[in-house]
A = this chain, B = another copy of it.
Amino acid sequence: MSYFRLRFIMYKAKVTIGLKKGVSDPEGANTLKALKLLGFDNVQEAKTIRTVDLLINGKSKDDVKKSVERMCQRLLINPVIHNYKIEIKEK
């Protein structure tokens, strides 16, 4: 167990998932509409962004980044409509 603890470090990964340019954002559009209906006429634009925060074990920052990259490709994002940004911090 102590061997495991020595080799692996806990990292915090933040994956910010936004929509690509030109992809419609119905949630944002409806938020904007509702805000205007409530009388907030000063709002010009509303966009929604999703963030996934992960706690993850790894040998190094690079190692964890590669792993999170694979997670994005396989599950977290849809490459047709999303762009994403990965930030890794040691916990």
Contacts and interface: CB of A to CB of B under 8 A. Distances in A.
Q: Which of A10, A34, A51 has the most CB of B within 10 A?
A: A51
State how many copies of this chain the complex holds.
2
Contact of A47 (B10, B43, B47, B53): B53
Size class of the contact patch on chain A = 20 to 34
B75 A56 contact: no
A44 B31 contact: no
Given A48-B52, A50-B48, A53-B49, A58 B42 contact: yes
Chain A contact residues, majority secondary structure: strand
Nearest to A45: B55
A40 to B, nearest CB: 6
Nearest to A44: B55
Interface of A: 8, 10, 16, 28, 31, 34-35, 38, 40, 42-58, 64, 67, 70-71, 74-76
